[in-house]
Amino acid sequence: MLHYKKFAVVTALLGLMVVGMAATRPHDDDDKPKRNLKVLPKDISHEELDKVMDEWKVALGVKCGFCHAQSKDSTSHHLDFASDAKPEKEIARHMYKMTAKINKKYFSFNKDDKGAVIPTITCMTCHRGNPHPGEVK
Ligand code: HEC
Ligand code: HEC
């Protein structure tokens, strides 16, 4: 009888441990993939990031896949947004830095009433819906 009770307690404890381990596993880091942001603020919200990406898409007159590579998983038609496989993505980072520099250096007189610099030059200023504004037609 005593023997049986001990067995029951040990089984119950083991059961609790297994349930506990299963409950903590999905909170591991790897279900939240690391972001690969080098020019945009690392803590940018999902909504703000979406807004910026949409602006760039419209400014260049392209689709998301112009800068973002296809996912390596061939059964998926999704884009791998964190991948840097397409050179256009790195060019876009250069363009972002250049645009910020032009605004800071040459348009810093353009401030709102709180003194914050208004971004005068945007991707649209040059691109106007064209990925290659340097081409002479
Ligand atoms: C002109 C090029 C360009 C276009 C077009 C573009 N993106 Fe991006 N995207 C980038 C760059 C560059 C980064 C990385 C920014 C950084 O390094 O801070 C990025 C980052 C992202 C990320 C974050 C990835 C991560 O590391 O977690 C997502 C999500 C994303 N883009 C979605 C989109 C979507 C959706 C579209 C279409 C609406 C789009 N992008 C269009 C250039 C582009
Ligand atoms: C001062 C003008 C100017 C601004 C501002 C500008 N660009 Fe550009 N961009 C260019 C020129 C010029 C080219 C070269 C086009 C060519 O090769 O014919 C270019 C090329 C690019 C390319 C490469 C296209 C390709 O197929 O090689 C990308 C991507 C790009 N720009 C993204 C952006 C993004 C994103 C912004 C805003 C953050 C931006 N640009 C702002 C002038 C500008």
Which tops the pLDDT comparison, 35 or 15?
35
Contact 80, 72 (CB under 8 A): yes
Q: Determine the length of the chain.
A: 137
As for ligand 2, residues whose beta carbon falls within 6 Å of it are 56, 60, 88, 91-92, 95-96, 99, 121, 123, 125-127, 131-135
* pLDDT of amino acid 23: 56
Which residue's entry shows tokens 């999905």?
Answer: 26
Interval 41-97: pLDDT, tens: 999 999 999 999 999 999 999 999 999 999 988 777 899 999 999 999 999 999 999
Please report the pLDDT score of residue 124 as a whole number. 97
- Joined together, the tokens standing for residue 105 give 């250096």
| Rounded-to-integer distance, Cα 124 and Cα 36, Å | 24
Model confidence band, residue 137 (pLDDT cutoffs 50, 70, 90)? low
Answer yes or no: are the C-beta atoms of 102 and 54 closer than 8 Å. no
Q: How many CB atoms lie within 10 A of CB 123?
A: 19
The amino acid that residue 113 corresponds to is D
CA of 33 to the centre of ligand 1 (A): 15
